[in-house]
Structure 1
Amino acid sequence: MSAHRIEDEAACARLCVDFAHHLDARRYEQVLALFTEDATLDRMGAVSQGRAEIARFLASRPTQITTRHVCTNISVSVEDATEGEATGACYVLFFQGSGGSADAAAQLSGPPSVVEYHDTFSRTAEGWKIQTRRIRMAIRG
């Protein structure tokens, strides 16, 4: 495996982790920057097409809810390095709580769930970006 391929796969895997960190911290501009302009985000059938629609979804997230997304088993495969295309998948352990603050932990709202992210990535002038993210429930809490 070439060094370039390893770097490309690591950059795409980093997008998965960055998505979780920025989403949980409500850094929505940074979340949006992870996607291509015409990206598709499919949240178990609720589809947002393009950054503007993804931004509307992000703005609608309840502010009283605290979330943590723990990404694991990240697998990325560069399909065509010359075309700048890759696919990936990961498992995400999802926690949700309420009543938290900067100084106090949120109260867990129920058992965690496991979702799967199925992604396609595109190399852009700014580096690798998420082209499509399909989220599906694997184990409901």
Structure 2
Amino acid sequence: MSGDRMMTGRMEDEAACARLCVDFANHLDARRYDSVLDLFTEDGTLDRMGTMFAGRAALAGFLASRPAAVTTRHLCTNISVYFDAADEATGFCCVLFFQGRAEAGPATALGPPSVVEYHDRFVRTASGWRIQERRIRMAIQASSF
């Protein structure tokens, strides 16, 4: 494979992994939980601030437990993807996280936003790139002044 084709392929792989970060946030906020699950490998894990959800059933349970009275928005930025092998990568993303009271019209903010970090392991599967592991860590905790 030529150097240009290898570079194009690597850029496409990087874009696919970065897209997983954004799709996760958008599907989660829209409560499209089947679409969230499809972003993970069958044995994928989510470590949310130290609470582990391993496999599709556990991930589905976590998603179903999200409070219906709360609206969220996750804004992803500073996405970085690093390749460990042709079919494996790690990723990092900063996420500005908003919560609001679900109601007709615009939600009412439940306080200032927080910042979390996504630390990811991506793998290429027969269905394309997927999240094998996501660790979510608090970077800046919101507080009232």
TM-score range, shorter chain: over 0.9
The whole-number CA distance in structure 1 between the counterparts of 2:103 and 2:111 is 15
- Cα distance in structure 1, aligned partners of 2:109 and 2:60: 26
Q: Using the alignment, how far apart are the partners of 1:21 and 1:77 within structure 2?
A: 23
- Give the structure 1 partner of residue 12 of structure 2: 7
TM-score of the pair, normalised by structure 2: 0.93
1:117 is aligned with what amino acid?
Y
Distance 1:86 1:99 in 2: 36
Deviation at 1:110, TM superposition (A): 0.4
Q: Which amino acid aligns with 2:102?
A: G
Look at both structures and tell me which one has the larger radius of gyration over its CA atoms: 2
Secondary structure of the residue aligned to 2:82 is: strand
- CA offsets per residue over residues 6-46 of structure 1, 9 Å max, x none? 10010000000000000000000000000000011000001
1:48 alignment counterpart: 53
- Percent sequence identity is 69
TM-score, structure 1 as length reference: 0.95
- Aligned AA for 1:124? T
Q: 2:85 aligns with which of 80, 83, 97?
A: 80
Match of 2:94 in 1: 91
Contact residue 92 and residue 116 of structure 1 kept, 8 A = yes
Can you give the 5+ residue segments of structure 2 that lack an aligned partner in the other structure?
1-5
Residue 17 (structure 1) aligns with: 22
CA-based RMSD: 0.8
Which residue identity does 1:140 align to in structure 2? Q
Shift of 1:100: 2.5
Residue in 2 that maps onto 1:128: 129
What residue is the counterpart of 1:27 in the other structure?
A: 32
Equivalence for 2:110: 109
Q: Distance in 2 between matches of 1:72 and 1:4?
A: 23
Show structure 1 runs of 5+ residues with no match. none
